[in-house]
Amino acid sequence: MTGDQLDETVSACLNLIDTRFPDGEERGGAAMLLADGTILTGTAPDAVNPAVEVCHEIEPYAGAFRLNQAVVASVCLLRDDHGRFLVLSPCGVCRERLALHGPEVLVGVAAPEDPTQVVWKALRDVLPDYWMTVFPGELTGGW
């Protein structure tokens, strides 16, 4: 994977948010780069009951599974009410999902000095004490 591919992944996420939600409201989206170079995007649909809402990453994650492709990088962005695009690091549930693709999956996290800047980190670096490391035979990603 190249830096250009990572930039394209971020651009795909930004484009999804701008295209799907052109009125500038606070909305988000996610993009995942797959092992074959494909970039899949997704966003979270509204639900009357917040307990059944899903995250932005579900759609590209399920698409990667459907295509039988490994996820190599993932980013989630939120356009706030000031029009800034904030980088949202993967929540615990998404980290669990991405862990199936191995510890080298890159995830976008916010730069400490600027939450609008993507910093790419390996999943292993955002999960230093991942619970499955005590079961090395259970993981295929080389933890």
Q: What is the pTM of this model?
A: 0.89
In this prediction, residues 105-125 reach a mean pLDDT of 95
Residue pLDDT, tens place only, 31-72: 999 999 999 999 999 999 989 999 999 999 999 999 999 999
Tell me the C-alpha distance between 46 and 118, whole Å: 26
Please state the rounded mean pLDDT for residues 23-28.
94
Q: Are strands 71-79 and 27-34 parallel, antiparallel or unpaired?
A: antiparallel
The domains of the chain, with CATH numbers, are 3-125 (3.40.140.10)
Residue 89 · residue 109 · CB < 8 Å? yes
